[in-house]
């Protein structure tokens, strides 16, 4: 599958989320969310991102991802059999995207599904509330081994969004979750941009000065290998990255 085809698929999924039919939305009474509070690290119903040490210095499109409860507390899969609660690994949030609870499916029973994936959604695992979905995914990942290449923080967020059937989709994975925060996410402040890209620029310049163009070619090859691995694992070898 070509990278252009995959990228177009991810853009289509993101457009589907944006244009999700309001007539098919759940008609539940949601309690009002609090405001996003950067100082207290409260991001109600948000997906949050921060750069990873060393890895993001070489490939700035890769970072650590978490998802937040309705009260804004961050939950992230940061180690084997361990989901962090209110202690975001690898530093403060640099980028965030608030999700719409009305684009989720919270069916009390099989006959009450408002999404098009009724049976598959029930088979995957449904939830009655936003926090219930995150808690169910946490229980699932507390029995999983962490691996940067096969089962990581993106896997946890994708699992949560599939339980929510966010945007009417059960096809959330590492790639389209990363694309969503990359294309739609908001920066917390200007310093977040600096700490996300400055190390990469420094490494790039030092490598160019010390090793010249072979370093640039090697760095580009490393990024391309990572990109291809996640693309192939998500769409061609699904069993490899499912956790």
CA–CA separation, 103 and 77 (whole Å): 24
Sheet holding 46-51, edge to edge: 82-85, 74-79, 63-68, 46-51, 95-98, 186-187
| Amino acid 135: pLDDT | 95
CA–CA separation, 77 and 156 (whole Å): 6
pTM: 0.86
Secondary structure (DSSP) of 9-34: HHHHHHHHHHT--GGGS----PPPPP
Tell me if 243 sits within 8 A of 144, measured CB to CB. Answer: yes
Q: 201 lies in which domain range?
A: 3-241
Burial of 35 (0-12, 13-18, 19+ CB in 10 A): exposed
Digitized pLDDT (tens) for each residue of the chain, 243 residues in all: 555 555 555 555 555 555 555 444 444 567 789 999 999 999 999 999 999 999 999 999 999 999 999 999 999 999 999 999 999 999 999 999 999 999 998 887 666 666 777 778 887 888 889 999 999 999 999 999 999 999 999 999 999 999 999 998 899 999 999 999 999 999 999 999 999 999 999 999 999 999 999 999 999 999 999 999 999 988 887 777 777
CA–CA separation, 55 and 21 (whole Å): 39
CA–CA separation, 171 and 149 (whole Å): 19
Provide the domain count of the chain.
1
């Amino acid at each position: 599958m070509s990278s252009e085809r995959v990228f177009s698929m991810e853009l289509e999924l993101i457009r589907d989320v944006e244009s999700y039919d309001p007539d098919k939305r759940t008609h539940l009474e949601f309690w009002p969310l609090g405001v996003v509070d950067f100082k207290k690290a409260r991001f109600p119903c948000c997906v949050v991102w921060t750069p990873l040490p060393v890895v993001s210095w070489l490939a700035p499109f890769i970072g650590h991802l978490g998802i937040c409860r309705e009260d804004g507390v961050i939950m992230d899969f940061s180690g084997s059999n361990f989901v962090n609660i209110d202690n975001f690994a690898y530093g403060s949030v640099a980028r965030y995207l608030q999700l719409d609870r009305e684009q989720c499916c919270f069916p009390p029973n099989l006959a009450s599904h408002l999404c098009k994936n009724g049976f598959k959604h029930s088979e995957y695992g449904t939830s009655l509330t936003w926090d219930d979905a995150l808690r169910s995914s946490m229980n699932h990942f507390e029995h999983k081994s962490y691996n940067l290449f096969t089962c990581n923080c993106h896997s946890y967020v994708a699992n949560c969004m599939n339980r929510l059937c966010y945007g009417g989709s059960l096809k959330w994975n590492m790639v389209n979750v990363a694309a969503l925060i990359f294309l739609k996410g908001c920066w917390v402040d200007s310093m977040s941009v600096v700490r996300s890209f400055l190390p990469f620029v420094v490494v790039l310049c030092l490598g160019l000065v010390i090793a010249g163009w072979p370093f640039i070619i090697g760095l580009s090859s490393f990024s391309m290998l990572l990109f291809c691995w996640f693309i192939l694992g998500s769409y061609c070898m699904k069993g490899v990255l499912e956790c």
